[in-house]
A and B are shown apart, each in its own frame.
Chain A
Amino acid sequence: MNFKIFTIIQKNFLIIFNSKLSSIMLILGPILLILLSYPLLQNTSIKNVNAGIYSSVDEDFTKNFIDKLHQNSFIVERKYSLESCKQDVIDSDKDVCIELQREAGGNNLNKVFNNNLGYRIILYVDYSNQRVVWQIIASIQSIVTKESDNIKNDIIVNIHDNLNEVIQFSDSNSKYVDNSIIIIDNINTDLNDLDSDLGSIKDDAHKAKYSIIELNNDLAVLLPYAASINNSFMYDKLKKINDSASQAANYSNKVEEKVNLINSKSNIPNSINGLNNLKTALLAVRSSYDTKQRELEDLNKIDLNKLTEPLPLSYQSVIDGGNYATHTNLNFLDYFFPTFLIIYLLFVSIIFSSVLTIRERISGAYLRNITSEVSNIKFIVGNFITFFLFVLFQIFLVIYISHFFLNINILSNLFPLLIMVSFSITIFVLIGMIIGYYFNSQESVTFSSIFISILLLIFSSLITPKEFLPQFFSNLVSFIPTTFFETKFISLIVFGSSLKIGIYDILFLVGSIFVLSVLLFFAYKKSKYFEMK
């Protein structure tokens, strides 16, 4: 029993290795695949990301941000409307649309912090580009984080400077206050002296007054005697009047001296000037304090969370908030479906058409066909149309079932999608037929068709997004059928866009079909030569 199994295994190996091309494909296929894909897959850092930027903020900040993007290998184009910026992402001309916005109250913040705060950044991305979108967000996030750190440092320095200014101002103006206090003390002392001097003046003046009153009393006593003259009594009284008058004169002198003394001690005019100067200085201090207080109040109003995230960054799907009512609330399957569709279409078209072509060639009826009067072209075209219709039917089933059972919104854009599907089937079926005519055994055809399909798959965005490749290869990969059609499917299915075919697209489609048709013709000729030699 075991020997029979080995016999069967041996027979199968012989079948495969009896065909030279099968043997070559068996060994070379995987080696070539790895050699070709290894340099593409080893570098997973993105480069040459195409970004559109729309800014409604000042030019300095915008230019600074664009420079930072350039330094991180972004290819940046300035857009002057948000809608056109987003549309570029939808059309796959750009990988991301960046909007620079001003936050509410930003102007007040900028007054305090020299235009470093008050911005926010919004990214509009295509989530269907799953291998790349998160890396793009992370790359921009790192740029924003660095910039935020710089802004935070600037803000902190700014706050410190402001506080230092306030402290220095306080220090420098406090001496004015001190001087003011000293002046006030001096004034107080002078005023006290003045007060006491005035008190003594008052006493003297009171004494003078009594002396004078006494004088008057004496005089009053004297006056009647004045009428009877040459009396010693009158003489004493007159002498007393004279003494009193002298005392009054002394007291008056003293008052005068006191007054002079007060004037010389108090220096009241100077004190009055000093008080006026003081008032002026105090008013200036008051005004400065008011200004600083306002600044500190502004500082107080700031949301301190800005210090931890000076440049807030958010991201959303490029179609959120737009005129895509039927295409919002998308999930993973919606974003993945276009890639799934192109992979299915790729493998089915190439393998189906190549295997059926070789089966036709190795069937007995092939002899009767090629010796008939029907032209070779008719056989090729007839087979092509057959394969095309089979694959189209399958794809239509996939689309139909996906729409109704997986709730993927496809039918709203069915006709443009079918146009693109038709082009893609045409190209992949032609590739399959070329393989079917070029190789001469079922085994080598099978190996080759799988190899070619996997090679084309590697270049799809699922495995090797063009953003991971050097610029030259990135441009080249854009025109590989898998990438080209996947981009169109995403635009039609995910975003519900209308079909847009530019001049380069037409050249690619027509050129590809023409080149493949020529190759098919030569492969057919080669197959006939092989059979007839």
Chain B
Amino acid sequence: MELVSVNNISKTLSHKKILENTSFLLNSGEIVGIIGSSGSGKSVFLKILIGFFKADSGKVFIDSSLKNSIGFSFQENSIYENLTIRQNLNYFSKIYNLTSKEMKEQIPFLIESLDLSEWQNVLVKKLSGGTKKRVDIACALLKNPKLVIFDEPLLGLDPERISKFLKLIIDINKKYNTSIIITSHMVKEIFPICSKFFLVKDKKIYLLDKSKLIAKPPK
């Protein structure tokens, strides 16, 4: 089932063309990777998907089941530095309309899954970059979204935590049929979990042939 369909969109920011007449397709339950050099437009594209940016032209179709069910974690963490981990999760749970029961289940689960137990009552601004990233990921996963977008989620994580994180998103995908879009420069790490890869280059998004990627693993 098509979850997200993008047709010939273009986007200009600060008088610079970022995307031009490009398209994208995501099906339900897929884990797709988006790769591309820095500044190629990956984050802009993802922000168009979550509704923060509006495409200058073209159509963006998002399935109605995704309404208020898109989670995201971008490079710049979308959390409050002056709140603790738990306070951030409590706040965003309420913003996302989680019930008390859901909060009682979900918050401890995410804290546990992302190894945040030790610092849950510490102000975010006192945490390391990697820990802040995990907090942001936790906020993205709060509402058990049907689509989760991760923009460079592996930055700052050590190999053990990378492995744990990848396992988590696979579990979420299997358990809830959650579709996942993940961008990362660490292609080798995300390669095994992604069913498809897209390349953002020269203002366009290209679907890559994964078999060719297998034959010639990307650097």
The segment from A97-105, A364-372, A479-487 that touches chain B is A364-372
Q: Give chain A residues whose Cβ lies under 8 Å from the Cβ of B52.
A: 367, 370-371, 531-532
Q: Give chain A residues whose Cβ lies under 8 Å from the Cβ of B139.
A: 368
Q: Give chain B residues whose Cβ lies under 8 Å from the Cβ of A374.
A: 95
Query: What residue in chain A is nearest B83 (Cβ atoms)?
Result: A365
A-B contact pairs, 24 of them (CB 8 A): A364-B76, A364-B77, A364-B81, A365-B78, A365-B79, A366-B78, A367-B52, A367-B78, A368-B79, A368-B92, A368-B139, A370-B52, A371-B51, A371-B70, A371-B72, A372-B68, A372-B95, A372-B96, A373-B96, A373-B97, A374-B95, A532-B52, A532-B53, A532-B54
* Centre residue among A364, A369, A372, A531 by max chain B CB count within 10 A: A364
Query: CA A365 – CA B135 in complex, angstroms?
Result: 12
Q: Give chain A residues whose Cβ lies under 8 Å from the Cβ of B24.
A: none
Query: What residue in chain A is nearest B70 (Cβ atoms)?
Result: A371
Is the CB–CB distance between A363 and B95 below 8 Å? Answer: no
> Shortest CB–CB separation between residue A440 and chain B, in angstroms?
13
Q: Give chain A residues whose Cβ lies under 8 Å from the Cβ of B191.
A: none
Q: Give chain B residues whose Cβ lies under 8 Å from the Cβ of A175.
A: none
| In the assembled complex, A301 has its CB within 8 A of some CB on chain B | no
Known: A372-B95, A372-B96, A374-B95. A363 touches B68 (CB 8 A): no
| In the assembled complex, A4 has its CB within 8 A of some CB on chain B | no
Is the CB–CB distance between B50 and A365 below 8 Å? Answer: no
Query: What residue in chain A is nearest B79 (Cβ atoms)?
Result: A365
B residues 24-72 with Cβ under 8 Å of A?
Answer: 50-54, 68, 70, 72
Query: CA A374 – CA B81 in complex, angstroms?
Result: 21
> Shortest CB–CB separation between residue A376 and chain B, in angstroms?
13
Which of A365, A531, A533 is close to B80, meaning CB atoms less than 8 Å apart? A365
**Those 4 A-B pairs whose CB atoms lie nearest each other, nearest first:** A368-B78, A373-B68, A364-B78, A367-B78
Q: Give chain A residues whose Cβ lies under 8 Å from the Cβ of B54.
A: 532
Q: Known A-B contacts: A368-B78, A371-B51. Give 9 more (CB < 8 A).
A: A365-B78, A365-B80, A367-B52, A368-B79, A368-B92, A372-B95, A372-B96, A373-B97, A531-B52
Q: Give chain A residues whose Cβ lies under 8 Å from the Cβ of B77.
A: 364
Is the CB–CB distance between B51 and A363 below 8 Å? Answer: no
Mark interface residues in A169-184 (1 if CB within 8 Å of B CB, else 0): 0000000000000000
| In the assembled complex, B206 has its CB within 8 A of some CB on chain A | no
Is the CB–CB distance between A364 and B95 below 8 Å? Answer: no
Query: What residue in chain B is nearest A366 (Cβ atoms)?
Result: B78
| In the assembled complex, B74 has its CB within 8 A of some CB on chain A | yes
Is the CB–CB distance between A363 and B80 below 8 Å? Answer: yes
Known: A363-B81, A365-B79. A533 touches B13 (CB 8 A): yes
Query: CA A365 – CA B50 in complex, angstroms?
Result: 15
